[in-house]
Structure 1
Amino acid sequence: MAQGLVLPCASCGQKNRIPPGRLGDRARCGKCQQTVHEPGAVVAIDRDDELQSLLQGADVPVLIDFWAPWCGPCRAVAPEVAKVSARHASDVLVLKVNTDVDPTVGQRHGIQSIPTMALFRGGSEVARTSGSRPASAIEQWMTQALAR
């Protein structure tokens, strides 16, 4: 079992560990005291190495929304993904990965269309879906995938 989740501080870059069971709590950077993670907030990840670290260190399932700013359906699904994140603040980590920032992310995960959502548990992908959909449909898909 992992020893928590390590999130980089957006302000100073310091890596901060969030202990297991505390994902639903607000986390502050140990160095600069800025907020590292708000409960229920979607975490934006820009680099493949950060993503791989989060996937390997997560004690909870991880939902990744692969997107790009020029993609209309990606922008349409963003508020729905945020609703899912807020509703599952303590039991699922929701990440947003802009595939234009670091193309190796999309290549590593075989992203051929966006928006694509992938669900990971224990560092391994358990399900994938593409397209825009309401929060209720995302939650239903996620629940079914995690029940397998």
Structure 2
Amino acid sequence: MSDSLHLVCPHCHSINRVPTARLGEQPNCGQCHQPIFAGQPLELTGSTFARYINKNDVPVLVDFWAPWCGPCKMMAPAFKEAAALLEPHVRLAKVNTDVEQTVGAQYRIRSIPTLILFKDGRELARQAGAMTTQDIVRWTRSQALG
């Protein structure tokens, strides 16, 4: 791991350079001074998706979901809990495939919920189906930090 990481601010979307040694100190954005990690998933849109996937030096776990999906609704609290457990080493985000159909189509989302783990702009792993908090954390750590 390098001496510093590039992290996208969830509030103003600016890219911050954070020393690796300070990652666990709840760093704030240099631009808007808000916390870079909020302990909860971010809602990504078609306009913000690529920036988070390509510009974060930590892996990004994305939950592709829809509001009408029962398993998605059941998994939402587990995904939120997983964000608190995995940050700051993994960023968690959500994409509503009803609203962001282009992003869903780009990644050939066929069933929801689908989790995709990205690192350096590339897909590392994919998992379809609802999972518990412990399963999300275990699966993500084995794929990203393994």
The TM-score normalised by the length of structure 2 is 0.82
| Residue 6 of structure 1: aligned partner | 8
Structure 1 segments unaligned to the other structure (5+ residues): none
Q: What does 1:47-86 align with in structure 2 at a 5 Å threshold?
A: 47=46, 49-86=47-84
Among the aligned pairs, what percent are the same residue? 35
Task: Tell me the SS of whatever aligns to 2:48.
Answer: helix
- Number of residue pairs matched by the alignment: 141
CA distance in 2, matches of 1:86, 1:139: 10
Check conservation: 2:29, 2:36, Cα contact below 8 A: yes
Which residue of 106, 113, 118 maps to 2:104? 106
1:26-45 equivalences under 5 Å are: 27=28, 30=31, 35=34, 37-45=36-44
Over the aligned positions, Cα root-mean-square deviation in angstroms equals: 2.5
Contact map agreement 1:99 1:105 (CA 8 A) in 2: yes
Structure 1 residues 59-85: Cα deviation after superposition (integer angstroms, max 9, x where no partner): 101100001111111111011111111
1:125 paired residue among 108, 123, 130: 123
Extract unaligned runs of 5+ from structure 2.
none
Tell me if the contact between 2:10 and 2:37 (Cα under 8 Å) persists in the aligned partners: no
TM-score, normalising length from structure 1? 0.81
